[in-house]
Amino acid sequence: MILTRRSHSRAAVFKALATIFFLSFCFVFSYLQLQGTSSLQFLSNRLPTSGNLTAAHFPPELIKFWTNFADSLLESRPVCADIKIDHAPPNDTETRFEPDNPNKQRVDFLRLSAEDQKAVKNSHSFMVKQALHKAPNLFYNRRTKGIVTTAGPRYVPILLVSLRMLRRSGSRLPVEVFLGSWDEYDSTICEGLFPSLGARCRVITDIYNKAPSVAKLEHFQFKIFAILFSSFEDVLFLDADAFPGNNPDDLFLTEPYSSYGLVTWPDIFGNTASPIYFQIASISEPPVSLRLSSESGQLLLSKSKHAADLLLMTYYNYYGPSYYYPLLCQGSHGAGDKETFIHAAMALDRPFWDVRERPWVLGHWKNGQFGLVAMAQYHPGDDWRIENGLNRSSDPATPRPLFVHNHFHKLDPKTIIREVGPTRDAEGNYQRMWGPKESIVDRFGHDVEQEVWKEILVTGCEASTDTCAKVKDYYNAMYGEDGKEIYF
Ligand SMILES: *[C@@H]1O[C@H](CO)[C@@H](O)[C@H](O)[C@H]1NC(C)=O
Ligand SMILES: *[C@@H]1O[C@H](CO)[C@@H](O)[C@H](O)[C@H]1NC(C)=O
Ligand SMILES: *[C@@H]1O[C@H](CO)[C@@H](O)[C@H](O)[C@H]1NC(C)=O
């Protein structure tokens, strides 16, 4: 530090001492905060400390925004009959992703009359104008980051396992769990268990129904509304059955999110959006060899950078079952919200990073067939560095997996151990679900599968003595041999 003459005055010395004292206080304070991670005290200042955590109201600014935007949604309804696919789904050859085959044909069997196509296109252009016009009024809490998820009652045990894995990873991000209605509310969970894991329940109908004429939401449509109504500016959306194997908190601060503000992950199939969609959206049709279809178990979105496309995504989902789901996905593999994210960004010419590295399918061989259990999705930072020819310190070409999406066999403690299922080999003996331990440890850096069984055990033992006994039996048989971690 260079001291000028003036700073030798007493006042300046005092000021410097005060600054040093203040800085050390901040340091000790943040250190203490870090130490509090396990008890999640760091989140308690974000939550009301007493009373009904769930009934806390959505901010009036967001309600006002929503009721106003709902008018745009209703006004931009396509004026034609619903789009139906009356064709057998494309076969495996047609949906195979072939990055080295630029001549591969896009799946194209959706048919619309010229008149209907014009009607859908007109409504789309109207919506695009509305989205651009209303985006600046989207309300969220500035400079906040958090995780958003949705969970009906059946998914609560699965979500508890995921939340426990999230906290085990060291993540300090607050979580908002959106419920479909008050019928799904359970005070033990929403006022007790979830808050102890840094999560709070929010009931979507509390705000959704403030717009009087909107249609009731169905299954796939909840995700985008949960993102739209969440309080955070920077959102990591996770399906209830997805969790990080390592701490995801730096994703918001680093590339590719810091430049793009929208990050999506791939599925294992090629894209099957109809050529008609691109005409409707007035954008050029990308070759199908360009990117895989999307897998929306995890998604990063910045509301400050992507407000307008978020509104267009909302439009695609609001009219998803009747128009945009068939337009954006002609295949049988997960028709639904998954393709709405990048296509809305493309329609508004907004930047996004679609992770290029294909998901790592987790499972095991049984009778000569691969039994798919889950999908591991890669760290977007590693993916971005590899694509840009930059090295990761030790191993330049191998990205690390980050998320595990248990889409195929849900980790519900009550049902995951069955006579025939992912925990049994062909002879019916217990086995690991995700394949050899070595590959999991090698790529995640630790045994995420053993760790998830500890959380399934905790969650199963909260649920019932039967489930608890079943999981203990499996855990001891699989992991008890090293003598250290036998549960009785
Ligand atoms: C919280 O508020 C909601 C709606 O007002 C109510 O249905 C629920 O029972 C309340 N829960 C508790 C624990 O008071
Ligand atoms: C898939 O469908 C195409 C027609 O689009 C056909 O030529 C091909 O033989 C089919 N492949 C399989 C494996 O059924
Ligand atoms: C990447 O690593 C390779 C060898 O591991 C090295 O030769 C190369 O210079 C590195 N490139 C960058 C951009 O650091």
46, 48, 52, 57: CA torsion to nearest 10: -70
The atom number, within ligand 3, closest to the CA of 390 reads 13
Give the number of the ligand closest to the Cα of residue 394. 3
Q: Whose CA is nearest to atom 4 of ligand 3?
A: 396
Q: Which residues line ligand 3 (CB under 6 A)?
A: 390-391, 396
430-459 burial code (b ≥16 CB/10 A, e <16) = ebbbbbeeeebeebbeebbbbbbbbbbbbb
CATH label, 60-354, candidates 2.60.40, 2.60.120, 3.90.550, 1.10.4160: 3.90.550
Q: How far is the CA of 273 from the centre of ligand 2 (A)?
A: 18
For residue 270, what is the enclosing H or E element? strand 262-270
183 lines ligand 1 (CB under 6 A): no
Q: Whose CA is nearest to atom 2 of ligand 1?
A: 55
Q: How far is the CA of 104 from the centre of ligand 2 (A)?
A: 13
User: Among all chains, which residue has been given the structure tokens 């360009």?
Assistant: 290
Give the number of the ligand closest to the Cα of residue 391. 3
Phi, psi angle pair for 137, to nearest 5°: -95, 0
The 8-class DSSP code of residue 424 comes to B
192 lines ligand 1 (CB under 6 A): no
pTM, two decimal places:
0.88
Give the number of the ligand closest to the Cα of residue 388. 3
Give the number of the ligand closest to the Cα of residue 195. 1
User: How is the chain split into domains, by residue range?
Assistant: 60-354, 360-479
Neighbours of 78 (CB within 10 A): 22
Tell me, what's the pLDDT at 331? 83
Q: How far is the CA of 162 from the centre of ligand 1 (A)?
A: 25
Q: How far is the CA of 99 from the centre of ligand 2 (A)?
A: 19
Q: How far is the CA of 88 from the centre of ligand 2 (A)?
A: 12
Tell me, what's the pLDDT at 398? 84
Q: Whose CA is nearest to atom 5 of ligand 1?
A: 55
233-269 burial code (b ≥16 CB/10 A, e <16) = bbbbbbbbbbbbbbebeebbeebbbeebbbbbbbbbb
Q: How far is the CA of 94 from the centre of ligand 2 (A)?
A: 7
Tokens of 26: 């901040």
Q: How far is the CA of 388 from the centre of ligand 3 (A)?
A: 12
Tokens of 42: 């760091």
Nearest to 404 by CA among 362, 371, 435: 362
C-alpha–C-alpha distance, residues 114 and 87, integer Å: 19
Q: Which of 52, 184, 187, 206 to mutate to test the pocket of ligand 1 (most atoms within 8 A of CB)?
A: 52
C-alpha–C-alpha distance, residues 316 and 281, integer Å: 11
Tell me, what's the pLDDT at 44? 52
C-alpha–C-alpha distance, residues 134 and 131, integer Å: 5
Q: How far is the CA of 81 from the centre of ligand 1 (A)?
A: 41
User: Among all chains, which residue has been given the structure tokens 């691109």?
Assistant: 278
- Residue at 347: amino acid letter: A
Tell me, what's the pLDDT at 335? 65
187 lines ligand 1 (CB under 6 A): yes
Q: Is 89:135 a contact under the CB 8 Å cutoff? A: no
Nearest to 302 by CA among 337, 262, 341: 262
182 lines ligand 1 (CB under 6 A): yes
List, in sequence order, the alpha helices (H) in 293-379.
307-318, 325-328, 340-347
102-148 pLDDT tens trace: 999 999 999 999 999 999 999 999 999 999 999 999 999 999 999 99
25 lines ligand 1 (CB under 6 A): no
55 lines ligand 1 (CB under 6 A): yes
* Number of helical (H) and strand (E) elements in the chain, helices listed first: 19, 11
Neighbours of 62 (CB within 10 A): 20
The atom number, within ligand 1, closest to the CA of 54 reads 1
Q: Which residues line ligand 2 (CB under 6 A)?
A: 91, 93-94
Regions of the chain short of the pLDDT cut 50? 1-38, 45, 483, 488
C-alpha–C-alpha distance, residues 324 and 347, integer Å: 13
For residue 377, what is the enclosing H or E element? strand 369-378
Give the number of the ligand closest to the Cα of residue 109. 2
54 lines ligand 1 (CB under 6 A): yes
Q: Is 140 helix (H, G, I), strand (E, B) or coil?
A: coil
Q: Which of 387, 388, 391 to mutate to test the pocket of ligand 3 (most atoms within 8 A of CB)?
A: 391
Q: How far is the CA of 374 from the centre of ligand 1 (A)?
A: 36
Q: How far apart are the first and last CA of the chain?
A: 61
Q: Whose CA is nearest to atom 6 of ligand 1?
A: 55
Q: Is 182:203 a contact under the CB 8 Å cutoff? A: yes
Give the number of the ligand closest to the Cα of residue 192. 1
